[in-house]
Amino acid sequence: MSTPARIVEVGPADLPLHCPRPGEQAWCSHPRVFLDVAQKGQALCPYCGTLYKYTGPADARHGH
């Protein structure tokens, strides 16, 4: 298993989570993809390899 390109911690305020995130230098480097990080505690972007780790409560799912 390869090492993620980078690791980013996110919380409830970041949901729904998508990569790339607003304001990031790589915002136009790949298509926007939504990641379900709250359910599993982490999610890996299939395009850039960024690993998002969720730091909030496991049951926080906005918009559901």
- pLDDT of amino acid 64: 45
Query: With helix as H, strand as E and coil as C, how does 8-46 read?
Result: EEECHHHCCEEECCCCCCCCCCCCCEEECHHHHCEEECC
Percent of the chain with pLDDT over 90: 56
Kindly report, residue by residue over 28-51, the tens digit of the pLDDT.
678 999 999 999 999 999 998 999
Domain spans of the chain, in order of start: 6-54
